[in-house]
Amino acid sequence: MGSPDDAPLPTAPEREGVRDATETEPTGIVVWHRKDLRIADNPAVAAAAAQSDRVLPLFVFDPGFYDERGAACDARIEFLHDCLRDLDRQYRDVGGAGLTYAHGDPLDVLRRFVDAGWGVVAAASATGRYGRRRDERARDELGVEFAAGDGLVRDADRPRDGWSDRVESWLAEEPYDWDPRSVAVAGIDTGIDPERVRDAYGIDSTKTRVPTGGRGPARKKLRAFTERIADYPGSISSPVDAREGTSGLSPYLRFGCLSVREVHRHVDERAPDGRGKSMFVSRLFWNRHYTQKLLDWPGWLDEAVNPVYRGFNRDRHDPDLVAAWKEGRTGFPMVDASMRCLRETGWLNFRMRALCASVYFHVLQQPWRIGADHFYRHLIDGDPAINYTQWQSQCGLVGRPGLRLYDPRKQVRDQDPDGEFVTRWVPELDPLPAAHLDAPEKTPLSVQREVGVEIGETYPYPVVDYEAARSEFRDRYGAVHGAAAARLADESVARRASLSGGLGAARSIAADHGDADGDGGATQTGLGDFD
Ligand SMILES: Cc1cc2nc3c(=O)[nH]c(=O)nc-3n(C[C@H](O)[C@H](O)[C@H](O)COP(=O)(O)OP(=O)(O)OC[C@H]3O[C@@H](n4cnc5c(N)ncnc54)[C@H](O)[C@@H]3O)c2cc1C
């Protein structure tokens, strides 16, 4: 993202603009869209339509997401802009005025509407600390109503008690509905739209293979995936097969082009019963499970959930190692291929995300947040609720037993035995026989000479000694794991961790694996094998 090429965009609509529009027409309810970019099964749209016969759908471009503070790559922003144009069409298709675009601090913009007599409704969502503060202020200062309806549990002291049953009954409920014929959809021409924002902030994506955003493309993907769902279980793990074999719905779910419930209903009604269907449905639950975690504690984005792991690896921060990982120059071909693929396309399958996070934290032993932020920047589906919670889980910052560590060489042998993925993204290894792609540094010099690959010159040696780093990590992590498990007995830590079994599960981990003295005695059993 570049810097604005012109004068920065003004905060719009101006106070007078809102007042003028309101003087000639009665007021009503503003629907403040954020990451729920659809008009169907949308609790905020339904609530607004139930309260008033006049609604004004609004999206506010927040400069914090666009200027140097922004955490999204240009490709994710362009995907968002596609979704907005599509939302604008959704409103026009039901006879409305389309989406009103605004620019500025959302609270300043909303205040102008509230001062002119409008009410405001938004869909409640799980966010990090910035979003939570913004929403609290919107509620307290402006009376914004947040309509819940995303299946997450908000009204319980212990959200995890009976959680699955509650999500299941939410999934079975009828979608939120409204009748466009009974509501006038109003709009204000503010002079702001996605094109103007793109030009003003110099948004220009260089990524390739990025899907088009919006509900139309999302529905098409959902229909096509449902047809081939029987092949899903066999397509998940390999980075080659997963590209077309998983649903590809993550960016659409992230921006709410479809609700999780709509996806569930479509698959439930139309897909044949079988392993593919049940595995996919369980992933929709995972989506809700990780999002519930962020709702339960907004700190997942900033600090290790288990205080014992705060600052772990910080003393080893090595910017050169971090740069090698980010740029795909670690000397571990599966990591390098994945990291280059992430940077160029903004997507990786689950296993490769987990592998890259594991190698970053467990082998390169670098501070987790820098890695998680890098993923968040480049993923088109970058979702704070899933990315940061998954990072902390994969790194082992929760304190649960059974940490999984991925072996990047085994992943080549298991998931890419012909080297299709590795050589696509690391073309300098293309001449090497596939049998050497798991550990190119072990290729006999005669073979290297013969094919014209020189490890150390054309492709790096591994940036760390894998075996030594792995055992060093085991020792360091094992030494504090007992203390970390013991902290799960602390109710405030257990609440933050938001385990699927609730506080009871956290207490049993503490009882079975905790070692409050922290001498590591009980901890080695907590470490899973390298996979
Ligand atoms: C370190 C790490 C970071 C991740 N960051 C994100 C992220 O920012 N955004 C994101 O949507 N997913 C994230 N995931 C989860 C998963 O990798 C992606 O959801 C999946 O690869 C997206 O492709 P798909 O839609 O084709 O998946 P499918 O296999 O078709 O799954 C369908 C949907 O189920 C949900 N889902 C699938 N797997 C998971 C999971 N493990 N946890 C939670 N929900 C899941 C997603 O909403 C996904 O779109 C991350 C995983 C890891 C290990």
* 115 within 8 A of 25, measured Cβ to Cβ: no
Residue 518: what pLDDT? 57
Q: Is the CB of 383 under 6 A from ligand 1?
A: yes
User: Could you give the CA distance from residue 204 to residue 179 in angstroms, rounded to a whole number?
Assistant: 38
The residue contributing the CA closest to ligand 1 atom 24 is 248
Helix (H) or strand (E) holding 145: strand 145-147
Phi (first) and psi of residue 11, to 5 degrees: -70, 120
* 521 within 8 A of 461, measured Cβ to Cβ: no
Residue 6: what pLDDT? 56
- Cβ burial of 169 (10 Å; 0-12, 13-18, 19+) is exposed
Which residue's entry shows tokens 């005025």? 97
Q: Which of 473, 441, 485, 438 is nearest to 460 (CA)?
A: 441
* 484 within 8 A of 309, measured Cβ to Cβ: yes
User: Could you give the CA distance from residue 381 to residue 218 in angstroms, rounded to a whole number?
Assistant: 13
Question: Span 307-530: which CATH code?
Answer: 1.10.579.10
Q: Is the CB of 246 under 6 A from ligand 1?
A: yes
Residue 80 C-alpha from the chain's centroid:
14
Structure tokens at 381: 């589906």
- Contacts for 11 with CB less than 8 Å, ≥ 6 apart: 102, 103, 104, 105, 108, 109
How close is the Cα of 287 to the center of ligand 1, in Å? 7
Residue span(s) of the chain under CATH 3.40.50.620 come to 1-149
User: Could you give the CA distance from residue 101 to residue 32 in angstroms, rounded to a whole number?
Assistant: 10
User: Quick one: which atom of ligand 1 is closest to the CA of 260?
Assistant: 47
Q: What is the dihedral of CA 460, 72, 193, 52, to 10 degrees?
A: 150
Residue 268: what pLDDT? 98
Structure tokens at 7: 């004068």
Residue 523: what pLDDT? 42
Residue 525: what pLDDT? 38
Q: Which of 319, 323, 233, 228 is nearest to 276 (CA)?
A: 233
The 3-state DSSP class for residue 526 equals helix
The residue contributing the CA closest to ligand 1 atom 15 is 350
Which residue's entry shows tokens 């990047």? 408
Residue type, 502: G
Residue 413: what pLDDT? 98
Q: Which of 516, 479, 302 is nearest to 392 (CA)?
A: 302
How close is the Cα of 250 to the center of ligand 1, in Å? 6
- Cβ neighbour number for residue 439 with a 10 Å cutoff: 17
- Cβ burial of 444 (10 Å; 0-12, 13-18, 19+) is exposed
Q: Is the CB of 248 under 6 A from ligand 1?
A: yes
Q: Is the CB of 257 under 6 A from ligand 1?
A: no
Residue 385: what pLDDT? 97
* 507 within 8 A of 489, measured Cβ to Cβ: yes
Q: What is the DSSP letter of 427?
A: G
- Contacts for 7 with CB less than 8 Å, ≥ 6 apart: none
ipTM of the complex: 1.00
Out of 127, 386, 391, mutate this one to test ligand 1's pocket (max ligand atoms within 8 Å of CB): namely: 386
Give pLDDT tens digits for 22-46.
888 889 999 999 999 999 999 999 9
The 3-state DSSP class for residue 128 equals coil
The verdict on whether residue 478 carries a ligand-binding annotation is: no
CA distances from 434 to 167, 212, 479 (A): 46, 35, 39
Residue 2: what pLDDT? 45
Residue ranges in the chain modelled with pLDDT below 70: 1-7, 518-531
Residue 468: what pLDDT? 97
Structure tokens at 448: 């290297």
Length of the chain: 531
Q: Can you give the C-alpha Rg of the chain in angstroms?
A: 25
Residue span(s) of the chain under CATH 1.10.579.10 come to 307-530
User: Quick one: which atom of ligand 1 is closest to the CA of 356?
Assistant: 1
Structure tokens at 88: 């604008």
Give pLDDT tens digits for 507-522.
999 999 999 775 544 4
CA distances from 32 to 42, 101, 181 (A): 12, 10, 21
Looking at domain 1-149, its CATH architecture is 3-Layer(aba) Sandwich (3.40)
Residue type, 257: C
